[in-house]
Amino acid sequence: MGLNKEELAHLEEKAHSLRHSIVNTVLYAGSGHIGGALSALDIMVILYYHFMNHRPEDPNWEDRDRFVLSKGHAGIGFVSILADLGYIEPEQLKTFNLTGSKLGIHLDSNNVPGVDASTGSLGHGLSIALGMALAARQLKKNYRTFCILGDGECDEGSVWEAAMATAHFNATNLVTFVDRNHFMIDGNTEDVMKLEPFADKWRAFGFEALVINGHDYNALHDAIEHALAGTEKPVKPVVIICDTVKGCGIDFMEGNYKWHYGAINEEVAEQCHRSLDQYYQKRMQEKGA
């Protein structure tokens, strides 16, 4: 079954609030990786607020589902979720990436409760996630592991080594996502290092590859449900390639690689907030809410 009306409204409202939190955190920090945080946000929202088993009051609960944000520069989005859920105090967001803060621009699992892996050096997250998935199998645990890659990150050879190993070990308790926002720090992925035919590459490495709208909660829900059903029988591991928009929700940032990382002041922040409100109203109108 898909999401009901109440579940969908809850996810939309949560994402709307978190997009505003991301803007505020970028303002506190003076700058940040806002474009990729906004493109990946809906994936993280449906995982943390609908699918994942986790306990903010017990971050090290051994049976929790694991999450690896391989594109660690999007931590400015992830940390807003951790603050909202109670892993950290929301006031800590005002210290993000400032001297002496525990919240670095790439979140450190030794300093930030709820972070399962320190990431930011691109290309390593899928290998770490595979290790977690194989550990669950060895320990006869039922926890699932979820990993989000960036599309530009898939230029790294280590991603494909991990993909080959994931298929070899048939790690169906690992669900891989690619935030396919089509841009990296230097421009369009197809100009910098061509990825297409992207889904076919994953299939050639032994995955079932699904391509969906990464901002559509019903599409995300159905794809994740399908991937998790694979833990019940020996099928291929699943990669969900999420077609997303860099800077999603902020009109002057959308689809602009120059907002991969950027600085904002209070005036720009107000423009961002206004645009996000309009984006939310449009999304809700389209859903008849």
Which pLDDT tens digit goes with each residue over 225-234? 999 987 665 5
- Report pLDDT for 255: 97
Strand partners, 218: none
Furthest-apart CA atoms within the chain: distance in Å: 54
pTM beyond cutoff 0.95: yes
CATH label of the domain that carries residue 177: 3.40.50.970
- Report pLDDT for 153: 97
Which pLDDT tens digit goes with each residue over 174-209? 999 999 999 999 999 999 999 999 999 999 999 999
Listed residue (54, 19, 57) closest to 39, CA to CA: 19
- Report pLDDT for 94: 98
Whether residue 53 is predicted with pLDDT greater than 70 in this model: the reply is: yes
Question: Region 254-258: what's the mean pLDDT?
Answer: 97
In angstroms, what CA-CA distances link 192 with 46, 152, 189?
Answer: 31, 9, 5
- Helix 125-138 and helix 157-168: axis angle, to 10°? 20
Which pLDDT tens digit goes with each residue over 109-155? 999 999 999 999 999 999 999 999 999 999 999 999 999 999 999 99
Identify the domain containing residue 72 by its residue range: 5-286
Split into its structural domains, the chain has a count of: 1
